[in-house]
Structure 1
Amino acid sequence: MIPPPPAATTAAGPSFSTSHFRAEREADWIAFDELLTKLERRGATALSSEELLELPVLYRATLSSLSIARATSLDRALLDHLEALSMRGYFLVYGVRETRLNRLRRFFLYDWPAAVRAVWKETLIIALIMLLGVMTSWSLVAHNPEWFYNFVPAELAGGRDPRASAEYLQSTLGHGKAAGDEETSGLHVFATYLFTHNSRVSIMSFALGFAFGVPTMMLEYYQGISLGAMMALFASKGLGFDFGGWLFIHGTTELFAAVLSGAAGLRIGAAVVFPGARSRLQAASDAGRTAGKVMVGVIIMLLVAGILEGFGRQLITDTALRYGIGTVMLLLWLGYYYVSRREDAT
């Protein structure tokens, strides 16, 4: 009498147990992991010819192990390990790795402008809020000059207040009789204050965006207050156009950067308030990636504004030329950000 064949489960059980499976294939996984580590740390030049030939073979062997592990429902820890190893191997063996130069090129050509375009609604809102701050202080100072002292501290005004003469105020703009005098050598103190103030408020506007965007909007409103007061002062003396040129040469870059920083903060705040189908944490995280790219650009813009303020404005005293440079800078930023371009394959 012929004995019955052994049950399928009897044969399959030991053959596909986790310990037996590991014993047969773990050496390949370890070898593959070591090659990937060497490739990550030192690049392809660190691998010998034999190791380069062995790399795709071990990759396919790992994929085969993963396929069997999934089909036979082996333990979850082993599946996770093989999936992570396979994914890591895919990116290192077949993935396209960019050089640092290419990453920088991609950021400046595509990622940064795309991030700014993504927050265009927030940019408009913040620009209107800052304009409201300028108009508020302008209106108050124009109707009652005593309001000026509430918006611009005396130590920063340096004599540039409602009691100053038009001649004195004109000299502080860099093209009056006393332009070379030490005590009236221009609005250097106020300019330094304005730049430092705008930079600090820009960073705070972004950092406080998570608080539903409310502190961000308040800070951006406050940012326009001192500027509007100073504009109203010079306009009251018939020097509004000259003061505008003094400000315009660097202000189109500096204030644009301030608006973008507020927009980045507001994007995060809006994501927290209106997360949609996502959790608030996930929505804030997604918004933060876009806002972070915008803020990298804001820092660069502030550096450019500092150069324009420190050199261009002091060396160029012609008001029309100041307006011209400021206008060119504004058009360059608008074109750079909002003229869409097709991303190339590099």
Structure 2
Amino acid sequence: MIARWFGKNAGQDAAVEAAALRSDRFRQAREGDWQRLDAIVTRIEGGRLRKLSDDDLLALPALYRTVVSSLAIARETSLDQALISYLEGLARRAWFAVYGPREGLGAWLARFFRGGWSAAVRGLGRDLLIALAVMVLGTVVGWLLVSSNPDWFYSLMGGMGDDVRVPGATREALRHTLFGQQDQNGLSMFAAFLFSNNAQVSLFAFALGFAFGVPSVLLLIHNTAGLGALLWLYHGQGLTLDLIGWLAIHGTTELFAILLAGAAGIHIGRAMAFPGDLPVLTAAAVAGRRAAQVMVGVVLMLVLAALLEGFGRQLIDSTTTRLAIGGTMLALWNAYFFAYRPARARVSN
């Protein structure tokens, strides 16, 4: 029995020794590549990318594949755990060096505002013109519907509750909704509600673009038809300019954001309907990346519009000042999107 015990231990020792020998040979055959990859990744992690030679940069993907292959072999052949742990850590670090993000949040935001966003908007091209034409058409359709039958006003504007802005309202009642609201309470809650509503319209206009853009177009028409109905109502009492001023202080930002969201949805839908030489999914993916970048900016525009709508529009009681603020915002947005073109601006495709 003692002889059998010694024989068993001897066999185990031999197996361990053989495994260690295989691990050593495996390491010696590939360790040079691992060490080179480790050194390259360490420099990248330390922010010393400029010190890397062209040969190291070109070799990085091949070295990464080598270490991944080595890890697979080590796991398959049950080499020692220390080696496997080392290769796992090196492969994880190398993955981030090869495929990970190339810039931090601060750098991305700087690139986004310094031309990335505006370049993405210009990349929508004819989709912006289509969305603008649809919004103008929706406004005209809303005006014509309520002028032919005032009952359409309730269908387009939804449940108005106790709101006095209904057909048949007096001039004084309508004018009171535009002025004299400086003492109104709960403006912050009102701003939050308006932001939620506007964001919902914009996100739906974007998200529904996958259905060849048709739902996006219909949503833009429905949303602006209500604007046409409201213009008709106030025009009948001679308050057209006052209403435009009341809307302009926030509307030039809000409607611009909705325009961009609708154009982004149409952009995706048009790419799927007319992919050109690309496969449908590839064309949709390219358009989706550009549209998504536009939508990041749309959310920021809606936040600003909500603040202007919930606070500025109520606290500023002059039509002239409201028009000046709205016109200034419109000029700034147009200048940023269509005149501001840094040489280094690029769009992620």
User: Structure 1 length normalisation: TM-score?
Assistant: 0.73
Q: CA deviation at 1:332?
A: 0.1
Q: Do the aligned partners of 1:156 and 1:189 also contact (CA within 8 Å) in 2?
A: no
Superposed counterparts of 1:248-327, under 5 Å: 248-327=248-327
Residue in 1 that maps onto 2:146 = 141
Residue in 1 that maps onto 2:3 = none
Mark the CA change 1:194 to 1:151 in structure 2 (over 3 Å): closer, same or farther.
farther
Q: Alpha-carbon deviations, 1:276-325, whole Å to 9, x = none?
A: 11111111111111101100010010011011112211111100110110
Distance 2:189 2:232 in 1: 18
Structure 1 vs Structure 2 CA RMSD? 4.2
Alignment equivalent of 2:176, drawn from 168, 171, 174: 171
Alignment equivalent of 2:32, drawn from 2, 7, 28: 28
Letter in 1 for 2:111: R
Q: Do the aligned partners of 1:142 and 1:236 also contact (CA within 8 Å) in 2?
A: no
- SS in structure 1 of the partner of residue 141 of structure 2: helix
How many residues are aligned here?
298
Superposed counterparts of 1:40-79, under 5 Å: 43-44=45-46, 60=56, 63=59
Q: CA deviation at 1:146?
A: 2.4
Unaligned runs of 5+ in 1: 1-20, 68-73
Distance 1:230 1:56 in 2: 64
Q: Do the aligned partners of 1:209 and 1:269 also contact (CA within 8 Å) in 2?
A: yes
Q: CA deviation at 1:98?
A: 4.6
Superposed counterparts of 1:102-117, under 5 Å: 102-117=107-122
Letter in 2 for 1:27: E
Residue in 2 that maps onto 1:129 = 134
Is 193-202 or 145-154 further displaced after alignment?
Answer: 193-202
- SS in structure 2 of the partner of residue 145 of structure 1: coil
Q: Alpha-carbon deviations, 1:198-235, whole Å to 9, x = none?
A: 32111011111111111111111111121111111111
Q: Do the aligned partners of 1:126 and 1:262 also contact (CA within 8 Å) in 2?
A: yes
Q: CA deviation at 1:157?
A: 6.3
Distance 2:323 2:116 in 1: 30
Q: Which of the pair has the greater relative contact order for Cα pairs under 8 Å at 6+ separation?
A: 2
Mark the CA change 1:229 to 1:64 in structure 2 (over 3 Å): closer, same or farther.
closer
Q: Do the aligned partners of 2:191 and 2:310 also contact (CA within 8 Å) in 1?
A: no
Mark the CA change 1:155 to 1:65 in structure 2 (over 3 Å): closer, same or farther.
closer
Q: CA deviation at 1:36?
A: 5.2
Distance 2:119 2:266 in 1: 17
Residue in 2 that maps onto 1:8 = none
Letter in 2 for 1:275: P
- SS in structure 1 of the partner of residue 179 of structure 2: helix
Residue in 2 that maps onto 1:211 = 211
Residue in 2 that maps onto 1:242 = 242
Mark the CA change 1:27 to 1:242 in structure 2 (over 3 Å): closer, same or farther.
same
- SS in structure 2 of the partner of residue 159 of structure 1: coil
Q: CA deviation at 1:268?
A: 0.8
Distance 2:137 2:62 in 1: 61
Superposed counterparts of 1:150-229, under 5 Å: 150-156=155-161, 158-175=163-180, 179=181, 196-229=196-229
Distance 2:335 2:38 in 1: 48
User: Structure 2 length normalisation: TM-score?
Assistant: 0.73
Q: CA deviation at 1:56?
A: 5.7
Mark the CA change 1:204 to 1:60 in structure 2 (over 3 Å): closer, same or farther.
closer
Residue in 1 that maps onto 2:338 = 338
Distance 1:289 1:61 in 2: 27
Q: Do the aligned partners of 1:254 and 1:302 also contact (CA within 8 Å) in 2?
A: yes
Distance 2:247 2:57 in 1: 66
Q: Do the aligned partners of 1:28 and 1:62 also contact (CA within 8 Å) in 2?
A: no
Distance 2:143 2:188 in 1: 21
Q: Do the aligned partners of 2:191 and 2:306 also contact (CA within 8 Å) in 1?
A: no
Letter in 2 for 1:299: V
Identity across aligned pairs (percent)? 41
Is 143-152 or 191-200 further displaced after alignment?
Answer: 191-200
